Structure 1
Amino acid sequence: MSENSVNTLAPAADDLFWQANSELITESDEQLARIVDQADLPALLAAIAAATSNTAILAEELRPPLTPVDTKNHPHGGMGEEAVLKGKAVALSGLIQLRDQQITATPALQPQAAEEILAYLSNGHSEWADMLKHELSILPENSGAPTWQYEDFAVAGKEFTALIVGSGVAGIAAAHRFAQAGVPFEIIEASARLGGTWQKNKYPGVRLDTPTFGYSYSFAQKADWPHQFAQGEEVREYLETVAAKAGLSGKIQYGTRLISATWDEAAGQWEAVISQDGNGVETRRFNALISASGQLDIPNIPEFPNRDKFAGIQMHSQEWDSSVDWRGKKVAVIGTGASAYQIVPAIYQDVEELVVFQRNAPWMLPAPAYHQEVSETFSWLVRKVPHYAQWFRLWTTVLGIPGRFHTVRAEENWPQAPLSVSRKNHQVREELIDLLREQFEGHPDLLKHAIPSYPPGAKRMLRDNGVWAQALKAEHSTLEVSPIVEFTETGIMTADGVHHEVDIVIYATGFKPSDYLDGIEIVGREGLRIHDYWQADARAHNGVTVPGFPNFFMVYGPNVGGVVAGSLHFMLERASEYALKAIHEVLKRDAKALSVTQEALDRFTAWVDAENRQMAWGQPYVKTWYQNSKGRVSQVWPFTNIEYWEATESVRPDEHEFLR
């Protein structure tokens, strides 16, 4: 094995899944040529350039143009036919070099080389570079890991402890970053297992509706995912493994719920009332409170008349009872959103009868690989090209930055409203309708109800590989669009006078996402309750801090949620890192706490609201769960990850009051 196989970077990498060496390449030139033919070129060329320390192969003519995606992804980021042919030749030559020189590891990247590779992947978007370095674990000095340690500020007789509430995706991100900085913390979880929504949602068919490699932490870049869109159990196992590798598993206090937290101005602490396993309550004190309880956690079950009279089984998708055998039964699914789209295709073949109650049809983006495993070629690249998985994840991140914003931005006085919001949006609408026509060919009665009556992007768009249409077209399936009037002892009556006899009712009716901190009483300065402050309109500066609530930080707070671009994990990591930066500012100043100003929040809210009003989901004629009860879009981040990177890059002293 050559000198090139020696890994000089592994000890410093900010990646819990770091692998020092890949396997040796032993395949013939012909076999390598077949692999290149099936590979995603930009990610492969970037990995080869890094492993061979030769960025000269990334010629200008081979740069992916990042052609905007309307409905279907463009292979290789939109590279032209000639560029693809040249790129394949360069990639083949690179793989042969890796084989012949027995290169199994990437040497430490020099800053200039890193800049050149990032410029290649991003088509010269230098303003993306810092964010991309954060996402690339093989550049540890630019990762999200804190550059300071709590012990540097520790003062004898003075302690600082944080409480992290929740051990889902957000809570694990926060706990890991706090642990890296050495900040003392406790982490509590109301459930019996970690994982948040992924340990609660266990219904048939549950899986990601975003590509797997875009749904992972920068500090935990798992390479051997089995599916292109990970199944629910795979995500749960990933989170459990991350917690174990980060040393968090034994620190989580399960069955422990935060009842209330009250700010003690004199002490500069939060007085938290906590219930453990339902066995009474106790009071603990913390200097900082981090809410990582998530958005999609409170089931929304409509108050249908006489629902309590139904003698059969009822369950919400998040409260799936695995002891219930639905096979051979008459099943009703209420709702046609994300969970219904997964449940219905998973069960329809095994039930006696299926009736799907639809209020609004969903828009669906084509995703042919939605249920597919990763290809043999991809697995080979992950195993044998040094750090290919990291570069592929970064490439996924690059493609997600611009996303599909261009398809959902509204044009003023657009004549096709409310069916579309712009020329491009209308074009997308027509393309998606054409796909629906193909899927429902021969079923005009279903097609007319499968076409949504609102603009694409106004609500969450699902992933479509044809299984939804297939399930609805089954002889024993019924799509019911007449409103539900009432439940009976044996079924459901609709407004058209039809009575549907069913054994099981599944509520795929979503959640109450705008009810942040529902069930928890947070009392800030001068006895102000956070729900009284919000008045049903949750707002937080950068989605993290709230005026009058010192050292209180939300991870996955209001307006921290991308829908047509970006990465949720990135947003949650940045929110966690922003909270840690704020605590760093408090410790540096030997203050008790910091509190964001009302002026800062007002500026942030005005900025976000103005942009949301330009989007499909912000139009006055659109009703969506992105909006709260006041009609304000409180769930969605209307920019890219770049803007959130910039917003959370530093904690500005002039936007905060420091309490002493």
Structure 2
Amino acid sequence: MTPTTFTTDEAHPREVARPGHYDACLPIVEDDDFLEQAVQSAELPALLAALALANADPSLLADELRPPLPPMDSVIAPQGGMSTEAQKSARRVAANALKAFRDRGSVPAAQPSEESLAHIMRFLTKDASDDYLPLLRHELGIPNDYGAPAWKKSEVAPDIDFSVAIIGAGISGMAAAHRLQQAGIEYVVFEKNTEVGGTWWENVYPGCRLDTPNFAYSYSFAQKADWPQQFSTRDEIETYLQDVATTFDLRPNVEFGTEVTSLSFDDDSGTWTVTTETADGIRGIRRVNAVITAVGQLNRPNIPQIPGLDSFAGRCFHSSQWDTSVDLSGLRVAVVGTGASAYQIVPSIAGTVQHLSVFQRNAPWMLPTPGYLADIPAGMAWLLRHVPHYGRWYRFWQFWIAAEGRLPFVEADPDWTEEGSTSANNAELRRQLLTHLSRQLEGHPDLLEKMTPKYPPGAKRMLRDNGMWATTLMQSHVDLVTDGIEAVTPAGIRTVDGVLHEVDVIVFATGFRASDYLEPITITGRGGKDLHESWGGDARAYMGITVPSFPNLFMLMGPNTGVVVNGSALYMAECAAEYTVECLGELLRARKQNIEPHAEAMDEFCDRVDAGNRLRTWGVADVHTWYRNRFGRATQVWPFSLLEFYQLTRTPDLSAFDLTGDFR
């Protein structure tokens, strides 16, 4: 290994002040025995990285301690695949480094150079290529906020009045608000709810929590070290998002309880008219230069049209509109659906209800995740609070090991013919998942038959499994019903086999109308063109963000920007928000009023994405999935790497756009 000396570096021009409480650390005063015990539960690769930085000691990153990072399959190799002997050595090295850090007063070393940080990153990433380094710096955020705009409106266009409307104060809306605020652009956020958080404010169903490791499910500009669990509860996520809104002073720009009903572009002035309505029916009009939609993909409930549903005598609601006034104790409950929300609801209510009937159309594939509900071990939690930037390095580590995640396992090989899979890798993943399922259901062949998916893994969302789903369905008062639903009667649900399942409450855990982008907002663009009529139910956008004939309209979490086996929604939202702000920067520098993509650029982009999706399991499998719209086209999912989306969203390709209208 080439010796490296850690040196300081000058401030990056994008650097901005970060609120201190996200990076605050407590001094270490504990004795040697305590420190040696704490490292027993540490995530070692990230800890070595953090201590190498804190002590400015690259010798901690010895080749024999470098995580080998074996390919991911159904599970992630603990400690990056380090051998038992390497882990033992790493704990010894880490404990000694902790003692050294304590003994010199718990004072971190001077700000590192880019070269020093790159050396640590390459240790963790098994020598990531130079192409990856800008992305990795963005995700780490040391020493600077690399997603911040490198310009301010006061510098590029101080005399131009320019304002932006953001629709939604969820994860993507707040990312956009923060970046606009950094650029000094006037903005207002319209939020139909009474608090920030979007889906994390709305969904209050029992058991609601993340199924993405939540260190990676956090903003690059607001990294949090004291998460209590790896997969945090809804309350933890909502509290974090509220804290971000307060800490970064976003709240004064949010108009709560205000829903946007229509957007209309005016050709003469080159501005958008935003029509809103408050909860008490007060209508408002606002004129802005640009609009950013941040309404998410999964926010309009999908309630199936079942004959007789209106006749049901009991209570009935969608999982995202959970009726908190209903006490399920001692009731007979039906949960329709076995997707992500049902997977959390069913085990959470099974111990309360008299009888539980779970209606399944397609069984879910489940990824073994033994610690899904577990707290972060005490020693690890202590280290996160006391080692400078350990939380950042741990988030970085989580990001990297899942950066391209299971993409190789959802390949669709056109020459592959084995039933139930789409490639050799996909078949291997299926084998591993079936082995996991069979072990849980030993002695229950009937349930194993019902719970074995009939489609390739990855065609639908895969769920985190710590055994709770199988354990719940094996209980005597729980039925897994796989016969189709024929009708709802006043007494319950009748299936196609003629059986009436009598219930008191029906919960629809049937997902969302994911392909109905921006519904029910009426949106008219240049020449009065209606966006929804133009799409005809088949949403398309250049970069998943902009649409021809709709100048200065930017969509976050737009068509084909969802990730389902790699990364998180926050990553894609941040990339799109940063791209949007750069588009506005180009507009202001050119002193032009409007920016809009060429139709040819959108078509070329969508054709390439469509071709990519046809090489993924979800693009070819014969199963109903929200990844595809009613035409069978995958309009939700990004089929390529996270690196590619990052690179595409750094600088707008102006050859793909028309910039029109002059500011005087």
After TM superposition, the score normalised by the length of structure 2 is: 0.95
**Which residue matches 1:517?**
518
Match of 2:98 among 88, 95, 100: 95
- Render the CA deviation track for 1:409-454: whole Å, top value 9, x for unaligned: 122222213x111222112112111111121122211110000000
Distance 1:397 1:408 in 2: 19
CA contact (8 A) 1:14 1:219 kept: no
The aligned amino acid for 1:115 is: A
- Render the CA deviation track for 1:207-259: whole Å, top value 9, x for unaligned: 00111111100111111111211100111111111000011123211111111
TM-aligned CA deviation for residue 260 of structure 1: 1.1
Distance 1:188 1:19 in 2: 27
SS across alignment from 2:512: coil
- Render the CA deviation track for 1:556-584: whole Å, top value 9, x for unaligned: 11111111111221110110111100000
CA contact (8 A) 2:169 2:254 kept: yes
**Which residue matches 2:632?**
631
For structure 2, the residue ranges without an aligned partner over 5 or more in a row are 1-9
TM-aligned CA deviation for residue 284 of structure 1: 1.6
- Render the CA deviation track for 1:457-500: whole Å, top value 9, x for unaligned: 11000000011111111111111111111111111111111111
Distance 2:435 2:152 in 1: 57
Q: Is residue 2:600 matched to residue 1:596?
A: no
**Which residue matches 1:131?**
135
- Render the CA deviation track for 1:12-68: whole Å, top value 9, x for unaligned: 665445456522323333432332232111100100110011223212333222212
Instruction: Write out aligned runs for 1:351-430 (5 A).
Output: 351-417=353-419, 419-430=420-431
**Which residue matches 2:550?**
549
TM-aligned CA deviation for residue 279 of structure 1: 2.2
**Which residue matches 1:5?**
none
**Which residue matches 2:651?**
650
CA contact (8 A) 2:157 2:591 kept: no
Change (3 A) 1:20 1:37: closer
Distance 2:22 2:576 in 1: 27
Change (3 A) 1:651 1:421: same
**Which residue matches 1:267?**
269
SS across alignment from 1:108: coil
**Which residue matches 2:211?**
209
SS across alignment from 2:303: coil
Distance 2:564 2:113 in 1: 35
The aligned amino acid for 1:221 is: Q
Change (3 A) 1:16 1:633: farther
- Render the CA deviation track for 1:565-622: whole Å, top value 9, x for unaligned: 1122111011011110000000000000111111211221122111111111011534
SS across alignment from 2:351: helix
CA contact (8 A) 1:71 1:432 kept: yes
Q: Is residue 2:69 matched to residue 1:69?
A: no
The aligned amino acid for 1:120 is: F
The aligned amino acid for 1:452 is: P
**Which residue matches 1:4?**
none
Distance 1:386 1:456 in 2: 40
CA contact (8 A) 2:259 2:276 kept: yes
Match of 1:22 among 18, 25, 29: 25
CA contact (8 A) 1:21 1:104 kept: no
**Which residue matches 1:315?**
317
Distance 1:490 1:622 in 2: 31
The aligned amino acid for 1:136 is: L
**Which residue matches 1:3?**
none
CA contact (8 A) 1:330 1:502 kept: yes
Instruction: Write out aligned runs for 1:606-621 (5 A).
Output: 606-619=607-620, 621=622
**Which residue matches 1:304?**
306
CA contact (8 A) 1:165 1:188 kept: yes
**Which residue matches 1:289?**
291
Distance 1:70 1:238 in 2: 31
Instruction: Write out aligned runs for 1:207-246 (5 A).
Output: 207-246=209-248
Distance 1:518 1:51 in 2: 49
SS across alignment from 1:188: strand
CA contact (8 A) 1:136 1:391 kept: yes
The aligned amino acid for 2:43 is: D
Match of 2:196 among 194, 204, 214: 194
Aligned length: 651
Distance 2:22 2:492 in 1: 55
The aligned amino acid for 2:423 is: S
Instruction: Write out aligned runs for 1:162-201 (5 A).
Output: 162-201=164-203
Change (3 A) 1:281 1:153: same
**Which residue matches 1:49?**
52
The aligned amino acid for 1:34 is: Q
CA RMSD of aligned residues (A): 1.9
The aligned amino acid for 1:569 is: L
**Which residue matches 2:532?**
531
TM-aligned CA deviation for residue 383 of structure 1: 1.5
**Which residue matches 1:122?**
125
Instruction: Write out aligned runs for 1:402-551 (5 A).
Output: 402-417=404-419, 419-551=420-552
The aligned amino acid for 1:201 is: N
SS across alignment from 2:126: coil
- Render the CA deviation track for 1:153-190: whole Å, top value 9, x for unaligned: 3454x410000000011111111111111100111011
CA contact (8 A) 2:266 2:273 kept: yes
TM-aligned CA deviation for residue 192 of structure 1: 1.9
SS across alignment from 1:457: coil
**Deviation larger for 499-508 or 20-29:** 20-29
Distance 1:318 1:602 in 2: 35
TM-aligned CA deviation for residue 271 of structure 1: 1.4
Distance 1:26 1:243 in 2: 34
Distance 2:158 2:394 in 1: 44
Q: Is residue 2:96 matched to residue 1:83?
A: no
Distance 2:205 2:634 in 1: 29
The aligned amino acid for 1:24 is: P
Change (3 A) 1:282 1:529: same
Distance 2:371 2:273 in 1: 49
